């Protein structure tokens, strides 16, 4: 089967500092893959390279088998790849509905499609339902709780109807209850969407992921099923002896 996302010997240097070294990643269509590792391991850098926000120093990126090395984020987006960020990217002065409307409209423009008002409204409603925010559709983002804002970020990523979704620490800064709500939402996403997630919360990682890749100091330390990673001694050591 052709991988939905594949990186081949991807490296990234900042001057003399090597942030990523020869990273090989292969994610099957429909798979949910977590990328974990200590702070500074290179997780966000890898995400930015896959999403076209940073060029690799060397190596290649393939999306559905096509070599997309050096492609711009909008070119990757048009191919069905969407990402969220660690930092909030929402329009704070607009309502929940308006934020999603902008993302849906941008998606249709990007595909040069014309879409009726009714169809667009249905689409926006559908996206908001998926993240449990339909009831808050007329709330200004600035007035929302932090956890709800992160749910809305997931909605914006879903508005592009992605086939590949990159989630960068979706539960960071959330309360335990907010984390559980976000986890339920991510688990409920359709399997047609391939998910790559960078996440520090191991309960989230082990509840959601099929497979886990562990980065340490820019290199792949381990790559395997949840069970394999949980039993990997090198991984436990990197996490300072903490049991996973």
Site for ligand ATP in 43-102 (CB under 6 A): 43-45
Stretch that binds ligand ATP, among 40-48, 95-103, 113-121, 232-240 (CB under 6 A): 40-48
Residue selected from 41, 141, 189, 213 as contacting ligand ATP according to rule CB under 6 A: 41
Least distance to ligand ATP from the beta carbon of 1, Å?
28
Contacts of range 98-103, beta carbons closer than 8 Å, 24 or more positions apart = 99/141, 99/152, 99/155, 99/156, 100/124, 100/127, 100/128, 100/152, 100/155, 100/156, 100/159, 103/155, 103/156, 103/159, 103/160
Least distance to ligand ATP from the beta carbon of 44, Å?
3
- 42 sits near ligand ATP (criterion: CB under 6 A): yes
- 14 sits near ligand ATP (criterion: CB under 6 A): yes
Whole-angstrom Cα distance, residue 133 to residue 138?
A: 10
Least distance to ligand ATP from the beta carbon of 66, Å?
25
Give the neighbor-by-neighbor strand order of the sheet with 17-27.
Answer: 17-27, 5-14, 58-63, 66-67
Least distance to ligand ATP from the beta carbon of 186, Å?
19
Stretch that binds ligand ATP, among 2-10, 39-47, 58-66, 100-108 (CB under 6 A): 39-47
Stretch that binds ligand ATP, among 12-20, 142-150, 155-163, 229-237 (CB under 6 A): 12-20
**CA distances in angstroms from 229 to 53, 84, 234, listed in the order given:** 29, 25, 9
Closer of 41 and 167 to ligand ATP (Cβ) = 41
Stretch that binds ligand ATP, among 37-45, 73-81, 180-188, 220-228 (CB under 6 A): 37-45
Least distance to ligand ATP from the beta carbon of 160, Å?
23
Helices (H), the chain: 43-50, 73-78, 96-110, 117-130, 146-159, 176-187, 202-208, 226-230, 233-238
Closer of 19 and 208 to ligand ATP (Cβ) = 19
Least distance to ligand ATP from the beta carbon of 24, Å?
17
Whole-angstrom Cα distance, residue 41 to residue 83?
A: 19
Q: Are 206 and 52 in contact (CB under 8 A)?
A: no
Least distance to ligand ATP from the beta carbon of 43, Å?
4
Residue 162 carries which DSSP code? Answer: -
Closer of 100 and 215 to ligand ATP (Cβ) = 215
**CA distances in angstroms from 46 to 65, 118, 150, 188, listed in the order given:** 18, 39, 21, 26
Contacts with ligand ATP, residue ranges (CB under 6 A):
14, 17, 19, 37, 39-45
């Amino acid at each position: 089967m052709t991988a939905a996302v594949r990186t081949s010997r991807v490296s990234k240097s900042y001057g003399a500092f090597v942030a990523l070294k020869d990273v090989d990643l292969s994610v099957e269509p429909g798979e949910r893959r977590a990328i974990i590792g200590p702070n500074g391991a290179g997780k966000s850098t890898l995400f930015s390279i896959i999403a076209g926000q940073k060029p690799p120093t060397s190596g290649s990126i393939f999306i559905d088998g096509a070599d997309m090395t050096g492609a711009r984020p909008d070119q990757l987006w048009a191919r069905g790849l969407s990402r969220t960020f660690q930092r909030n990217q929402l329009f704070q002065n607009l309502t929940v509905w308006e934020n999603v409307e902008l993302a849906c409209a941008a998606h249709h423009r990007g595909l040069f499609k014309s879409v009726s008002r009714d169809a667009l409204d249905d689409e926006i409603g559908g996206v908001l339902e998926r993240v449990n925010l339909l009831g808050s559709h007329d709330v200004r983002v600035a007035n929302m709780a932090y956890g709800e804002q992160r749910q809305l970020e997931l909605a914006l990523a879903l508005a592009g109807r992605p086939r590949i979704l990159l989630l960068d620490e979706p539960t960071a800064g959330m309360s335990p209850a907010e984390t559980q709500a976000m986890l339920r939402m991510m688990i409920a996403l359709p399997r047609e969407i391939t998910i790559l997630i960078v996440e520090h919360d191991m309960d989230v990682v082990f509840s959601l992921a099929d497979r886990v890749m562990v980065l340490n100091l820019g290199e792949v330390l381990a790559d395997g099923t949840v069970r394999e990673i949980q039993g990997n001694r090198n991984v436990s050591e990197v996490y300072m002896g903490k049991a996973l």
